[in-house]
Amino acid sequence: MVRVTGDQALVKKINKSIILHTIRKYSPLSRAKVSEMTGLNKATVSNLVAELCAQELVTEAGPGESSGGRKPLILHFNAMAGSVIGVELRVKQLTAVLCDLGGRILQEQECSLESHQLPYVLEAMTKLISALIAAAPATPYGIVGIGVGVPGMVDEHGVVLFAPNLGWETVDLRALLEAEFAVPVTIDNEANAGALGELNFGAARDVRHLLYVSAGSGIGSGIIIEGELYKGARGYAGETGHMSIEAEGKPCSCGSQGCWELYASEKTYDTPALPLPARTTPELVAHAAAGEPNTLSHFNTMGEYLGIGVTNLINSFNPQLIVIGGALSEAEAWLGEPLRSVVAKRTLPYHKQELEITFSKLGSRGTVIGAGFSAVMHFLGHIRVTL
């Protein structure tokens, strides 16, 4: 009888996870290519791939290119092994998607929010999620998890500690949703979820140093350093919307004043004195497209203020790529030029080298897709290892 020690089991688990994530990210791949990419020997790869095939997480299909001899079978990640629900809670809107394990949206549902009372929001969330669960295709694992992106600070237990734009403090959202649906739930700050969405499915694949700026009802940033999400000492990093950009500026709901999001997010629409023809981004985008002068002027000012905050972030973090996501990414045509021109004028010259600023390829869906991705990673038992 072979006795497996704890260490052997752990090593096997780590190797299996490395193989699974290599296939998930880069398939189609042959076993030989997996062995080459992971540095694991062919026997180990074959054994663990056989386990992954038996678990229906990996499938093999027709022969691939051969360099002579028998043609190899090609491995694929089985994105249809299960499905996940991604949810984004915004100040005025709730969006939920049903995704396969590869981040492909199968169905989408949304509703507007009239209040931020917890029972009301929970009921709306439950309704959307239930509808998507009912629509889910039959898969080996079924619904493997629910991921939620929220506009606020979240601790490691899925408790929303503070969401000033919702008026929420210490809401144990994970426990509430797990009690309702009996599947694992992950709760992320919406900007962190958006950064993960971009990194895995959007504009930032294979980027090592990324700043994802989510600009919508407020501003938050997802910070990726060395390919990993940076959360800070307690998990609250990225509250960039509350960095002061005006020393004697307007008072903010966070208790400070002159915060960035008061000048460069949808919060600017609330200023009654502004002669705007509408107060939501989709409506203003339509007005801007029709050339309405007040909207054009307002988007130009917002773009400049976005540029000021982005400059501060570039000078602090020296990223390779900045992605602007969130609801305001739909206004790229009018925000992009003033933003880039302020950054070009103000950023330190060395930081500008090889820096790219782009708007989200996932549009306003980056967060729901990223929230679903967190649930996928939880299901696949993501293990951090340094290769």
By C-beta, is 141 or 269 nearer to Zn ion? 269
Please, are residues 280 and 316 in contact by the beta-carbon 8 Å criterion?
no
Is 264 a binding residue for Zn ion by CB under 5 A? The answer is no
What's the full length of the chain, in residues? 387
Among 19, 153, 215, 252, binds Zn ion (CB under 5 A): 252
Of 255-263, 284-292, 322-330, 345-353, the segment contacting Zn ion by CB under 5 A is: 255-263
By C-beta, is 259 or 371 nearer to Zn ion? 259
Work out whether the CA dihedral 253, 254, 259, 262 comes out positive or negative.
negative
Of 104-112, 142-150, 246-254, 345-353, the segment contacting Zn ion by CB under 5 A is: 246-254
Residue at 31: amino acid letter: R
Of 104-112, 211-219, 221-229, 237-245, the segment contacting Zn ion by CB under 5 A is: 237-245
Is 259 a binding residue for Zn ion by CB under 5 A? The answer is yes
Is 256 a binding residue for Zn ion by CB under 5 A? The answer is yes
Is 243 a binding residue for Zn ion by CB under 5 A? The answer is no
Cα separation, 205 vs 161, in Å, equals 30
Is 242 a binding residue for Zn ion by CB under 5 A? The answer is yes
The binding track of 301-340 with respect to Zn ion, each residue x by CB under 5 A or -, is ----------------------------------------
Shortest spacing between CB 153 and Zn ion, in angstroms = 13
Alpha helices, DSSP H, located in the chain? 6-26, 31-38, 42-54, 118-135, 173-181, 190-201, 261-264, 281-289, 293-317, 332-346, 349-352, 366-379
At a CB cut-off of 8 Å and minimum separation 6, what does 296 contact?
288, 334
By C-beta, is 146 or 262 nearer to Zn ion? 262
Shortest spacing between CB 207 and Zn ion, in angstroms = 28
Is 251 a binding residue for Zn ion by CB under 5 A? The answer is no
Shortest spacing between CB 258 and Zn ion, in angstroms = 8
Please, are residues 222 and 214 in contact by the beta-carbon 8 Å criterion?
yes
Of 41-49, 80-88, 240-248, 275-283, the segment contacting Zn ion by CB under 5 A is: 240-248
The binding track of 85-104 with respect to Zn ion, each residue x by CB under 5 A or -, is --------------------
Between helix 31-38 and helix 6-26 the angle, nearest 10°, is: 110
Cα separation, 206 vs 320, in Å, equals 11
Edge-first strand listing for the sheet containing 105-112: 105-112, 93-100, 83-89, 143-150, 185-189
Of 85-93, 94-102, 165-173, 250-258, the segment contacting Zn ion by CB under 5 A is: 250-258
Give the side-chain half-sphere CA count within 13 A for 360. Answer: 32
Is 245 a binding residue for Zn ion by CB under 5 A? The answer is no
User: What is the size of the binding site for Zn ion (CB under 5 A)?
Assistant: 5
Please give the distance of CA 138 from its chain centroid, rounded to a whole number.
26
By C-beta, is 201 or 260 nearer to Zn ion? 260
Applying CB under 5 A, the residues found at the interface with Zn ion are 242, 252, 254, 256, 259
